[in-house]
């Protein structure tokens, strides 16, 4: 039996590689890189332990046979990751559009609306839920 076949047999019924594990590897790599710049022995040792924890957890997840639990964790991770990503995209757009638009949340459905920058109080109609509410654009 070849190595790949043995490996496939070993991995059968296990969670395998997913986005969350990939993220954990990246964190471990980041901690390891940061450790290059730490000269204090104790701090360096602690960072090394943290790195091993992340690596260990990533490997545990890859080899885990509780596939349902692991994929639920992965889904939760993706949800949080997307929320963080969208937050930064919104901040980037806010800066890009700072001269022409203002971003406000809909009072009812919490959708983020991009409004023309017109100073003063206006009534806005949300295109998503059709709810009307007042906004005050000061600057
Ligand atoms: Zn709305």
Rounded Cα gap, residues 114 and 85, in angstroms: 18
**Torsional class of 120: left (φ above 0), alpha (ψ -120 to 50), beta (otherwise):** left
Using DSSP's 3-state secondary structure scheme, residue 102 falls into strand
CA–centroid distance, 65 to ligand 1, in Å, is 43
CA–centroid distance, 81 to ligand 1, in Å, is 24
CA–centroid distance, 106 to ligand 1, in Å, is 5
CA–centroid distance, 122 to ligand 1, in Å, is 15
Residue 24's contacts (CB-CB under 8 Å, 6 or more residues apart) are 54, 55, 57, 58, 61
pTM of the model: 0.77
Rounded Cα gap, residues 13 and 56, in angstroms: 19
Residue pair 125/113 in contact by the 8 Å Cβ criterion: no
CA–centroid distance, 105 to ligand 1, in Å, is 8
pLDDT for residue 139: 85
Question: Which residues of the chain fall below pLDDT 70?
Answer: none
Taking the CA atoms of residue 74, residue 79, residue 84 and residue 87 in that order, the dihedral angle to the nearest 10 degrees is 160
Handedness of CA 55, 60, 63, 64 (dihedral sign): negative
CA–centroid distance, 114 to ligand 1, in Å, is 12
For residue 114, the cross-strand partners are: 103
Alpha helices in 1-139 (DSSP H): 3-11, 19-34, 41-63, 67-96
Rounded Cα gap, residues 29 and 54, in angstroms: 9
């Amino acid at each position: 039996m070849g190595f790949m076949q043995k490996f496939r047999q070993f991995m059968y019924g296990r969670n395998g590689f997913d986005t969350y594990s990939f993220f954990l590897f990246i964190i471990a790599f980041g901690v390891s890189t940061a450790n290059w710049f730490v000269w204090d022995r104790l701090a360096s040792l602690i960072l090394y332990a943290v790195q091993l924890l992340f690596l260990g957890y990533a490997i545990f997840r890859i080899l885990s046979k509780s596939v349902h639990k692991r994929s639920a964790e992965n889904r939760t991770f993706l949800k949080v990751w997307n929320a963080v990503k969208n937050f930064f995209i919104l901040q980037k757009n806010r800066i890009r559009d700072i001269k022409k638009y203002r971003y406000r949340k809909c009072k009812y459905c919490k959708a983020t609306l991009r409004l023309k920058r017109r100073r003063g109080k206006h009534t806005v109609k949300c295109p998503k839920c059709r709810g009307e509410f007042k906004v005050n654009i000061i600057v």
